[in-house]
Structure 1
Amino acid sequence: MTNSKLLEQFRSFYFRNFPDDMETQINYFSIFGGLGWDVDTSKPLTQLIEELILQNFDTLNEKIEQLTLNEPNNKRLLSALAVGDRKIFSAFKRAGLNNGNGGGALNYLQEKGIVQIEYSRESEANKISKHRISHKVLFTYPFIRFWFYFIYPHIREIKEKNYNKLFKSIQNKQNSYTSLVFEELSEVLLNYNLRDAQIISSGSYWDANMEIDILTVTDKMEIYVAECKWTNHRVNKSELHKLEEKCLKLGIKPFQIILFSKRGFSNELKSMQSKDLALYSSDNFEALLKNALNSTLIKSFIN
């Protein structure tokens, strides 16, 4: 299912700030997306985090507390979802919650539009013994995930104006953090390119043994599988082989394999492009801005 709200936010961020390239757009959007503020993307991220977030910490923290009712269970669950594997049951465990109070917190966060459920596509027939299918959770606004990924764990130090551990954490984990937003946007781009087809199922796939970043099925039963790599090196042929092995184990024959990469691909992999293999780098995300030249600036969660 195409995430139309994320697409609206992505377009709104671009037409508000006009970053120089799509890598910058994705990097900065993953942090400030949904905040609805002007962001000078010519400045380094660390400088903007200090100017826009840390210098406005009290205002933003007050809004977060309003959104969460300042309820510890809500905030612990959001933190667990932000840094974990997004699976509901493991997030409950990480947050120290049970199915009762964890379920109550999750229901509230859904009702407030802070998160949405990504339902497992593993069929009951494929369940292994004693394996409990767990759905996953996506954040509606990238900024709120950023807050609970980086800010919330260091909130005491931040209140004391001590930012050293925060910036060290951002330096070490930024690519890992951005990977999920890149994956979500990659699904949006794939489905945009398949807009003439009728998509009957789309999203990530996971079961007890494996995960695939994107698995999309059309009404013609054409299967598209994709992996997304937000790293500072070019993707090579080994990533293709890994995805092919996953498809073989899952018993599916993809109509097309797609690889998404922050920094492009090896020459060997580029030479293999065909109707069976598509390669997308950051620059290709400009396609999401087409037919949106008059995109309105949407309201943020703090309005």
Structure 2
Amino acid sequence: MFVGRTNELDYLNTKYTSSNAEFIVLYGRRRIGKTEILREFVKDKKHVFYSGHQITDFMQLNRVTSVMTEHFNKKIYSDSFNQWEQVFSYISENLIEEEKTVIIFDEFPYMVEGNSSIPSVLQSIWDHSLSKKNILIILCGSSISFMKNELLSEKNPLYGRTTGVLKITEMDFESSLGFYPNIDFHEQVAFYSVFSGVPYYLSRINREKSLKENIITSILQNGSVLFNEVEFLLKQELREVSVYNTIITAIALGRTKQNEIVQLSGVEKTKLTYYLNSLIDLGIIRKEFPSTIKTKEMVKSRVGLYILDNSFFRFYYRFVYPHVSELMDGNIDIIYEDIIEKQLMDFIGYEFEKIAIAHVRNINQRKEIPLRLIRIGRWWDKNKEIDIVGYDISHNFIFGECKWRNEKLGVPVLKQLQDKSMAIKEEVRDKYYILFSKSGFTDELKNLALIDDKIILVDYNLAKGGFGIN
């Protein structure tokens, strides 16, 4: 079952319909859904799909020979290509000009691992012939360090040849709804909050079982599909896994400032930045700034916070990693009922704020609000926090509050938000307010919103399987 990824497919189709030869690098961490996107993209197109393996270069050439000759249906004079120059020349010579051919090398880093000359050879053939053909080449890889720091670096022979770079990230909440249709919206939020927007994790959800049952059978049980997922990912991408585990644990425990991470982890401050940047590249953490800080000010600003950007990792390091020994001993029900269940509402509430911010971005892009916001995010200072603050170029602001409670939101919550908005020191021309609620709104607040178009109420009760705007 293929779900979402409309923007990514649109991007690839734009490249496909281009009148020029196109050369795309597509990358993203393990399990993020790269191969599924590519399979969906080429299902109705003339294409060759080769997936690299961690094997010798000799065997790699044998396998790619079989795939290429089967597609182009033109024999070669030997049993196998013995050089990569022959592979790329063979492709160039057999392309049909009338129809664009898509050539995909999935897990390209594995190919280069066996033969480091491949990028140089491909660069030469691209310059001399492939760049003049009706072709779309896609190099895909899961190794972030290789794809970003080597393949896309200035020192790489292919630097400057690519016509596009597409990084695949997590799906947002609204794009993920196809993984769990026909269930209540609050359950969809709960599943997304635990399993995150990684398609593989979402695909493990059994829609016939409750959230508790899915957490136990897919995450908490030793040997379950996601029990060792985090450790496996870190070992595949990073060295010094123990250091990264310590840093991530510190952030999961609320140590979000650099000095706090140093104090709890024991990692030297001079080395910490390197580790943090590696985790940012993997999409595990991100550095967040109050939404009113300008981009050019972020480098020198000290108010940035490091937070876990993937909710599954946040769940794992909050509830699984500290209790691995107990879980392996079989104390699953105790860990779930005495620890996870008691904190799950707060955990989901935090993720609900992120979902709400993404929703504001979506409705802003769809022009469903009377503003054209250029920045949207959280905001805080030493005394106050606001869940959502966005603004446009004319200094019109929108302020948002999110409540994951089993009670309706009333006018007092709006008043509190209006009071907190006074803490913004920037020039404010006009103010709008947007409130998100799990359990709806009081009649008093709904009546107020009817007569004041600057108050926007977003209620899941108004739309099955999505947000509704009152």
TM-score > 0.5 by shorter chain: yes
**Which of 248, 262, 283 is the aligned partner of 1:113?**
283
Q: Quick one: structure 1 residues 52 and 234, their matched pair in 2 at CA, closer, same or farther if it must change by over 3 Å?
A: same
Q: Distance in 1 between matches of 2:256 and 2:303?
A: 9
Q: Secondary structure at the match of 1:194?
A: helix
Partner of 1:137: 306
Larger RCO of the pair (alpha carbons < 8 Å, separation 6+): 1
For residues 272 and 41 of structure 1, do their structure 2 counterparts lie closer, same or farther at Cα, with a shift above 3 Å needed? farther
Select the structure of larger CA radius of gyration: 2
Question: 1:44 aligns to what?
Answer: 210
SS at match of 1:250: coil
Give the letter for the 1:108 counterpart. S
CA distance in 2, matches of 1:245, 1:156: 47
Give CA deviations for 1:183-214 in whole Å, capped at 9, x if unaligned. 11111111222223543211101122211111
Residue of 383, 389, 407 corresponding to 1:209: 383
* Runs (5+) with no aligned partner, structure 2: 1-167, 295-300
Paired residue for 1:301?
none
Superposition TM-score, scaled by structure 2 size? 0.54
Kept in 2: contact 1:21–1:283 (CA 8 A): no
SS in 1 for 2:346: helix
- Alignment check: 8 A CA contact 1:19 1:42 kept: no
Q: Aligned-pair distance for 1:263?
A: 1.1
Shift of 1:167: 3.1
| TM-score in terms of structure 1 length | 0.80
State the Cα deviation string for residues 45-92 of structure 1 (Å, max 9, x = none).
221111111235465344312333362221122223234274444344
Once residues 135 and 183 of structure 1 are traced to their aligned partners in structure 2, the CA distance between those partners, rounded to angstroms, is: 18
Q: Where in structure 2 are the equivalents of 1:61-210 lying within 5 Å?
A: 61-69=227-235, 71-84=241-254, 86-121=256-291, 133-163=302-332, 164-195=334-365, 196=367, 198-210=372-384
Q: Is the 8 A contact 2:400 2:435 kept in 1?
A: yes
Structure 1 vs Structure 2 CA RMSD: 3.0
Counterpart Cα distance in 2 of 1:224 and 1:259: 10
Relative to structure 2, which stretch is displaced further, 73-82 or 269-278?
73-82
Aligned residue among 250, 255, 269 for 2:445: 269
Asked whether the equivalents of residues 386 and 400 of structure 2 are also in contact (C-alpha less than 8 Å), the reply is yes
Paired AA for residue 390 in structure 2: T
Q: Is 1:10–2:173 an aligned residue pair?
A: yes
Candidates 410, 416, 419, aligned match of 1:236: 410
Going from structure 1 to structure 2, the CA distance change for 1:11 and 1:212 (only over 3 Å counts) comes to closer
Distance 2:378 2:436 in 1: 14
Residue matched to 2:31: none
Higher mean displacement: 132-141 or 222-231: 132-141
Paired residue secondary structure (1:203): strand
Q: Which moved more, 1:58-67 or 1:30-39?
A: 58-67
Q: Summarize the Cα distance change of 1:240–1:110 in structure 2 as closer, same or farther, 3 Å threshold.
A: same
Residue 121 of structure 1 deviates from its aligned partner by: 4.2
> Per-residue CA shift, 1:144-166, capped at 9, x if unaligned?
22111211121121121112134
Distance 1:188 1:86 in 2: 22
Distance (whole Å) between structure 2 residues aligned to residue 22 and residue 255 of structure 1: 29
What is the distance in 2 between the residues matched to 1:203 and 1:40? 33
The one-letter amino acid of 1:180's match is: Y
Q: Report the Cα distance in structure 1 between the residues aligned to 2:440 and 2:344, rounded to whole angstroms.
A: 19
| Aligned equivalent of 2:183, options 8, 11, 20 | 20
Judge conservation of contact 1:28–1:41 (CA < 8 Å) in 2. Answer: no
8 Å contact from structure 1 (residues 204, 215) kept in 2: yes
For 2:457, the aligned partner's letter is L
* Aligned residues of 1:82 and 1:149 also touching (Cα < 8 A): yes
Q: Which letter does structure 2 place at the counterpart of 1:80? A: A
Q: Which residue of 1 aligns with 2:431?
A: 255
Q: Distance in 2 between matches of 1:211 and 1:68?
A: 33
Distance 1:214 1:89 in 2: 26
Q: Distance in 1 between matches of 2:463 and 2:396?
A: 23
1:36: Cα distance to partner?
3.5
Change (3 A) 1:210 1:285: farther
Decide whether the 8 Å contact of 2:460 with 2:466 is kept in 1.
no
The alignment-based identity, stated in percent, is 24
Are the structure 2 counterparts of residues 90 and 244 from structure 1 closer, same or farther at C-alpha, using a change threshold of 3 Å? farther
- Say if 2:389 and 2:399, in contact at 8 Å, map to a contact too: yes
Letter in 2 for 1:282: Y
What secondary structure, in the 3-state scheme, does the structure 2 residue paired with 1:272 have? helix
Q: How many residues align?
A: 280
Q: Residue type of the partner of 2:176? A: F
Query: Which secondary structure state, in structure 2, belongs to the residue aligned with residue 249 of structure 1?
Result: coil
Q: How far apart, in 1, do the equivalents of 2:446 and 2:303 lie? A: 37
For 2:251 and 2:268, locate their aligned partners in 1 and report how far apart those are by CA, in whole Å: 14
2-structure distance, mates of 1:121, 1:12: 24
Q: Secondary structure at the match of 1:238?
A: helix
Structure 2 match to 1:54: 220
CA distance in 2, matches of 1:31, 1:80: 19
For residues 112-146 of structure 1, the C-alpha deviation after alignment (integer angstroms, 9 at most, x for no partner) is 2322222344659xxxxxxx733123444322221
Determine the C-alpha separation between the residues in 2 that align with 1:135 and 1:236. 32
